[in-house]
Amino acid sequence: MQWINYHHLLYFWTVAKEGNIADAATRLRVSQPTISTQIRTLEDALGVELFDRSGRRLVLSELGQVAFRYAEQIFSLGREMVDVLHERPTGQPLQMVVGVTYVVPKLIAYRLLMPAFGLSEGLHVTCREDRFDRLLGQLARHELDLVLSDVPIGPDISVKAFNHLLGSSGVTFFASPALAAKYKRDFPKSLDGAPFLLPMAGSAVRRELDRWFDEHDLRPEIVGQFDDSALLKVFGQRGVGVFAGPTAIETEIKQEYGVHVVGRSDTIQERFYAITVERRLKHPGVVAVSKSAKATLFL
């Protein structure tokens, strides 16, 4: 792999901005021959000529212009990194990169993240959806500011991170209008043998549902299992089966998917966590998510 000498790149970038070697030498506090030598070394390493001479001024060549644009980005990011590490304003929108596990309902994720968008200082949010283990790997590499999950990170996982419980919710059972009319009567006994759409085995809510079915001696007919909570609801919307969702967003689920309530259970609890590498929340966006969750979503 060919590596760039960033010291040489700095000299090139400064000359390009100043327009001549003399002014660049003054700014960098080095001799003109030193700068000339460093730029020639960079050109040799890259195999291109970066400048064309126009009288006493140096003019960027076509490839030099390309190199200059990259150098601008490189040194701009360098300045921003120093500012961020020293907690100084960067002039750039605050960034928050969030990982959301497939099992977390999209409406829950929306309700949790929306307060961050209202921060007065502005915030640019990037959301990535993936499996829990993959998101934890990204969190460990500091590629994410937080992970939204329905399960906490366990002691058996080597990633050093901390769980922040955002809240919990009971469960509401939903179905298309026709199915809801059929199975609402005599709930929950009516669910015995009913067509049911479930999250994949191993998820926290699936374990809670299986436990609840056993406690009530119910054996629903499992017609579909899903990693993606939104896809599960689409099939429920189409009348394929009954499905469960957090009571905290019951109104939104009914409005979004046009489904009706079959019944509710407070003994089934879905919990939601913000997982971060910090024990104490500091990122303004993460703090906004946590405060709003406890104040408005999970009462």
Domains of the chain: residue spans and CATH? 6-85 (1.10.10.10), 94-167+273-297 (3.40.190.10), 169-268 (3.40.190.10)
67-108 pLDDT per residue, tens: 888 888 888 777 767 766 665 555 566 788 999 999 899 999
Confidence of residue 280 (pLDDT cuts 50, 70, 90): confident
Q: Identify the pLDDT of residue 213.
A: 96
What's the rounded Cα separation, in Å, for the pair 210 and 244? 12
Q: Identify the pLDDT of residue 155.
A: 82
What's the rounded Cα separation, in Å, for the pair 51 and 69? 14
What's the rounded Cα separation, in Å, for the pair 32 and 39? 11
3-state DSSP helix/strand/coil percent for the chain, to nearest 5? 45, 25, 30
What's the rounded Cα separation, in Å, for the pair 286 and 145? 8
Please report the beta strands in 178-299, taking only residues with DSSP state E, as ranges in sequence order: 195-199, 221-226, 243-246, 260-276
167-194 pLDDT per residue, tens: 999 999 999 999 999 999 999 999 999 9
**Residue 296 DSSP symbol:** I
> Where does the chain have alpha helices with state H?
6-18, 21-28, 32-46, 62-85, 106-117, 132-140, 177-183, 204-215, 229-237, 250-257, 284-292
CA R_g for the chain: 28
* Residue 45: alpha-carbon gap to chain centroid: 39
20-24, 52-56, 61-65, 252-256: the lowest-pLDDT one: 52-56
Q: Identify the pLDDT of residue 86.
A: 62
Q: How close are the terminal C-alpha atoms of the chain, in Å?
A: 55
In the predicted model, what is the mean pLDDT of residues 114-125? Answer: 78
What's the rounded Cα separation, in Å, for the pair 193 and 273? 33
What does the chain come to in residues?
299
Residue 162 dihedral angles phi and psi, to the nearest 5°: -130, 140
What's the rounded Cα separation, in Å, for the pair 119 and 66? 37
Query: Tokens 């971060």, residue?
Result: 276
The structure's pTM equals 0.67
What are the structure tokens assigned to 89, written together?
A: 């304003």
